[in-house]
Amino acid sequence: MATSRQPDIENLTDQQRDWVLHSEALWREAHAIASAHVGMDPGDVYHALRCLELSPSQRLSRGLTRVRTRPHIG
Amino acid sequence: MFELVLTSAERALLEALNALGVRYLIVGMGAALLEGAPGTTQDLDLWFGLIDGERLHEAARRAGGLYTPGFGLQPPALGGAGLDRVDVVLTVSGLESFESEFARARDYDLDGVPVRVLPLERVIVSKRAAKRPKDAAQIPMLEAALAARKARKELDCT
């Protein structure tokens, strides 16, 4: 659920603060994109935007649910 | 840290298919994942325009696996250690000919192996046409990913 309350970002590390601010920006972008499509879930758009920040191999790796059955360094 | 996604057998298979001139497309949810959809799948679906048993057999052999042309209810399949996630796809619902789809497919580098991938918008067309409950359930997520992709104009996929 969205909230207008600002997080206490002063107590976060630089890395955590960057993540929070970037995440919030992505949520804003996701809501803007979803608002142009009837019934679209901003959460789905947010996770897609996150995926687009990964390399194609990383995206596939996250989504392939069956584990490798053999070492991949041959 | 760079993490490989393919098994050594899967990589060897794709390299062999490429070397032997066997044309294939990654389709289904595997394609959607590569295009940025935040979903999951158990399989890597390879759509072959032409089933050339001799070359598929040789590609499987180079990957340490096997190819069976199918018999009874068993469809053509690639198998063996490290190849259990690969599915052979003969037809895809709702799409145009293999040649047409291959021509508009996108190029990706997958663990150093060049592959061609069905674009997300075409995956959505095929999922709609399949009319299976599990495909219908994925469509809202796929459409959200397509909207995100268009918004980002994320077309550089190498």
Is the pLDDT confidence value at A37 over 80? yes
Which domains occur in chain B, in start order? Answer: 8-151 (3.30.460)
- Whole-angstrom Cα distance, residue B110 to residue B10? 11
B5–A71: do the CB atoms touch at under 8 Å?
A: no
Per-residue model confidence as pLDDT tens digits over B90-100: 999 999 999 99
Is the pLDDT confidence value at A4 over 80? no
Q: What is the pLDDT of residue A8?
A: 74
- Determine the average pLDDT of the residues in B69-98: 90
Which of B27, B33, B86, B138 to mutate to probe the A interface, most A CBs <10 Å? B33
A40–B143: do the CB atoms touch at under 8 Å?
A: yes
- Determine the average pLDDT of the residues in A11-34: 91
Q: What is the pLDDT of residue A71?
A: 47
CA B11-B89-B30 angle, 5° bins? 55
Where do the domains of chain A lie? 40-64
How many Å lie between the alpha carbon of B149 and the closest alpha carbon of chain A? 7
Is the pLDDT confidence value at A63 over 80? yes
Sequence-separated (6 or more) residues with CB below 8 Å from residue B55: B17, B20, B21, B22
Is the pLDDT confidence value at B71 over 90? no
A28: helix, coil or strand? helix
**H helices of chain B, where?**
8-19, 28-34, 53-62, 98-104, 120-130, 133-152
pLDDT grade, residue A67 (50/70/90)? low
pLDDT grade, residue B87 (50/70/90)? very high
Is the pLDDT confidence value at B155 over 50? no
Per-residue model confidence as pLDDT tens digits over B10-58: 999 999 999 999 999 999 999 999 999 999 999 999 999 999 999 999 9
Q: Count A/B contacts: CB-CB distance under 8 Å.
A: 125
**Largest distance between two CA atoms of chain A:** 52
- Determine the average pLDDT of the residues in A12-36: 91
A56–B149: do the CB atoms touch at under 8 Å?
A: no
Interface confidence: ipTM more than 0.95 = no
Beta carbons of B96 and B81 less than 8 angstroms apart: no
